[in-house]
A and B are shown apart, each in its own frame.
Chain A
Amino acid sequence: SQTIHQWPATLVQPVGSPLSLECTVEGTSNPNLYWYRQAAGRGLQLLFYSVGIGQISSEVPQNLSASRPQDRQFILSSKKLLLSDSGFYLCAWNIVGLGLQETQYFGPGTRLLVL
């Protein structure tokens, strides 16, 4: 069966510090991968998605970047964090075209607090 991992679970960082959040998927190959942010009291905002290694699409201009160095690894980064980067970051995956009907499956999330 497929599983998705995110770490760290919680992170407190000072403004201006770098960021690296990691997401890995097990039990599947060539998934689509997604990064979402959920700010307090708000819905999900799609930040990035990737349909393959090295292929990253950005949804909104921001202080963050994403990379996909391996098939099942998706990394969210920042060189200098802003206060507004605080939130709950969710990684998701799906497989398209194999009868799984585009359902996205989510990881447990990383809570980021920038002080």
Chain B
Amino acid sequence: AQSVTQPDIHITVSEGASLELRCNYSYGATPYLFWYVQSPGQGLQLLLKYFSGDTLVQGIKGFEAEFKRSQSSFNLRKPSVHWSDAAEYFCAVGPSNDYKLSFGAGTTVTVRA
């Protein structure tokens, strides 16, 4: 069975500082991996995805993520955060035979001035 762990429930970072969100997955084959962002009261927006090829993936809003098979990780990074990056971030892995995604519990990011 596939599963995702996001070890950090909440992260606080200063504006302009770097950000890294951790994601560890469990999946029996080469995974499809995703990062989504959710602003308060909104739906989820896709930040980036990994299917194959280059293990460093660039996404929208200046985010990137690196797939490390040996560590079963897909951590999300941003070199310099903006106040607008305050949101909840979800890592997801798939697909299962039923084309379902498994989501992590999410990491809430607070940006302080």
Chain A contacts to B: CB under 8 angstroms: 6, 32, 34, 42-44, 46, 49, 51, 57, 88, 90, 92, 94, 96, 101-109, 111
Contacts and interface: CB of A to CB of B under 8 A. Distances in A.
A49 B42 CA distance: 21
Interface of B: 32, 34, 36, 41-46, 49, 51, 90, 92, 94-95, 98-101, 103-106
B49 A106 contact: no
Majority SS at the chain A contact face: strand
Contacts, number: 53
A108 B43 CA distance: 4
A39 to B, nearest CB: 11
Contacts of A32: 99
Given A44-B90, A103-B34, A49 B43 contact: no
